[in-house]
Amino acid sequence: MSDWSRWSDSLRFLKNIRTSGTIAPSSKFLIDRMLSPIDFSAAQCIVELGPGNGCVTRTLLSRMRENSVLVCIEVNSEFILELESLQDPRLRVISCCASTISEALNKMGIEKADHVVSSLPLAILQGTLRDKILSSVDSTLKDGGCYTQYQYSLNNFSDVKSVFKNVTLGFTLRNVPPAFVYQCIKS
Ligand SMILES: C[S@@+](CC[C@H](N)C(=O)[O-])C[C@H]1O[C@@H](n2cnc3c(N)ncnc32)[C@H](O)[C@@H]1O
More confident of the two residues 168 and 15: 168
Which of 14, 61, 74 best tests ligand 1's pocket when mutated (most atoms within 8 Å of CB)? 74
Q: What is the distance in A from the centroid of ligand 1 to the CA of 17?
A: 10
Mean pLDDT value across residues 95-115: 97
Cα gap 7→12, rounded to integer Å:
9
Q: Tell me: pLDDT of 1 over 70.
A: no
pLDDT, the chain, mean: 95
For ligand 1, whether the C-beta of 54 sits within 6 Å is no
Contact 181, 154 (CB under 8 A): no
Question: Atom 12 in ligand 1: which residue has the minimum CA distance?
Answer: 50
| Residue 157: Cβ-neighbour burial (10 angstroms; 0-12, 13-18, 19+) | middle
